[in-house]
Amino acid sequence: MKKRNIIALTCMAMLLMGCGKGQLQPSTNEPAPSNFSTVDSTTEATTVTDDSAKEASTEVTKTDIDAYILEPAGIPMISSEADPGDTPLYFTYEGKESDDFISYDNLTLVNNGQKATSDEVSYGELYKPSNKCFRFKTDAGNEYIYIELNCENDYFQLAVYDITDGTAKFVGDKWFAYIGVDNEASTKDGYTDPSHLRLGSRDESFGTFSYSVVYKVGEDGMPTPAESGCTIKDVCTEKITSKKALDLEVVDSDGNPTGNMITVPAGSTYTLVNYYEDIPALDTKLDDGTVVRIPLSETGYDAKFNGTLIRDLFNELMYVG
């Protein structure tokens, strides 16, 4: 336990310094990922336009209220002690506000007098101006509000509300991690694409690593993976050596299984290049460039391959936390 704590502290320092960052991402021609990727508003019919975003922001600030405006959606956050006036769409809360954050209880979305609240987002803190709020309209004509809420350490809670046809309904929530993906592009006046949201998570199935997945707004309004696999962002252990020989399947350059099984000898070096939440599985590159898949029966710190703990199959896996 003492050794693991020392390794964890060492690894945490490495992550803060950019351990492994940028070295393991597959070579692509795609632009640098961000939590919420921007799109060309002239080609995406469901994207909020610059003019509409400005009009929405102007509309909510016309009322004589003291409110913090959640960007880029332009939705005000109003204390329950304040009069919202004729503001049609806003969040209200019980709690306190300072120059840096809002500490809230009983967070409620109000849309044309209809209210949506949930025990799942009953308390927390919203840090100015890091937290963002997004308004999506899908091709099916449904409208949703996504709001980031800081709650625990470097994780944030993503709460989802349905405001279709003037309604107000809490849909659900998910947790994600800040992993250093480029947020700046996602916060410029709210050009957000409901079919391409990049959100980050963290896992411990191969030592601690951070990754991002492309999501889309699902039929129920919740984010759902838009494609298989992920982009590896940061790893705690860059190259991992195996303790035992492993029989693994080779995958091609597109991540497709080939059916070709090989025996990888003990002492081989593995580099993480992809992770599949849905399968689940790890794609790892060997020193000769061959990519092999490690299917998992369990994920996280107690991840297993063929019933054996991953940490019993590989040397010096490092973990944060």
Same structural domain, 96 and 185? yes
Domain boundary among 164, 195, 226: 195
Same structural domain, 172 and 244? no
Domain boundary among 145, 167, 195: 195
Neighbours of 11 (CB within 10 A): 21
Same structural domain, 24 and 56? no
| Residue 266: per-residue pLDDT | 98
Same structural domain, 165 and 261? no
Q: How many domains does the chain have?
A: 2
Same structural domain, 167 and 74? yes
Task: Return the sign of the alpha-carbon dihedral for residues 159, 74, 196, 47.
Answer: positive
Same structural domain, 60 and 186? yes
Q: Which of 140, 142, 137, 8 is nearest to 73 (CA)?
A: 137
Q: Domain range for residue 175?
A: 50-195
Domain boundary among 141, 174, 195: 195
| Residue 206: per-residue pLDDT | 98
For residue 288, tell me if it sits in a domain: yes
| Residue 112: per-residue pLDDT | 95
Same structural domain, 22 and 65? no
For residue 276, tell me if it sits in a domain: yes
For residue 296, tell me if it sits in a domain: yes
Amino acid at position 221, single letter: G
* pLDDT by residue, tens only, the chain of 321 residues: 434 444 444 444 444 444 443 333 333 334 333 333 333 322 332 334 334 444 444 444 434 467 899 888 889 999 999 999 999 999 999 988 888 889 888 899 999 999 999 988 878 888 887 778 889 999 999 999 999 887 666 788 899 999 999 999 999 999 888 644 444 444 433 346 788 888 889 999 999 999 988 888 999 999 999 888 999 989 999 999 999 999 999 999 999 999 999 999 999 999 999 999 999 999 999 999 999 999 999 999 999 999 999 999 999 899 986
For residue 144, tell me if it sits in a domain: yes
For residue 268, tell me if it sits in a domain: yes
Same structural domain, 156 and 283? no
* Strand pairing class (143-152; 133-137): antiparallel
Task: Return the sign of the alpha-carbon dihedral for residues 276, 279, 285, 288.
Answer: negative
Query: The tokens of 178 are what?
Result: 């800040």
Contact 133, 147 (CB under 8 A): yes
For residue 69, tell me if it sits in a domain: yes
In angstroms, the CA 236 to CA 119 distance is: 35
Query: The tokens of 111 are what?
Result: 């849309």
Same structural domain, 71 and 190? yes
Query: The tokens of 87 are what?
Result: 């503001």
Contact 35, 192 (CB under 8 A): no
| Residue 151: per-residue pLDDT | 64
For residue 112, tell me if it sits in a domain: yes
Q: How many CA atoms lie within 13 A of 113 on its CB side?
A: 1
For residue 97, tell me if it sits in a domain: yes
Same structural domain, 158 and 283? no
| Residue 111: per-residue pLDDT | 98
Same structural domain, 245 and 142? no
Same structural domain, 99 and 131? yes
Facing residues of 97 across strands? 102
**Entry pTM:** 0.72
| Residue 148: per-residue pLDDT | 87
DSSP string, 147-176: EEEEEETTEEEEEEEE-GGG--EEEEEEEE
Neighbours of 222 (CB within 10 A): 16
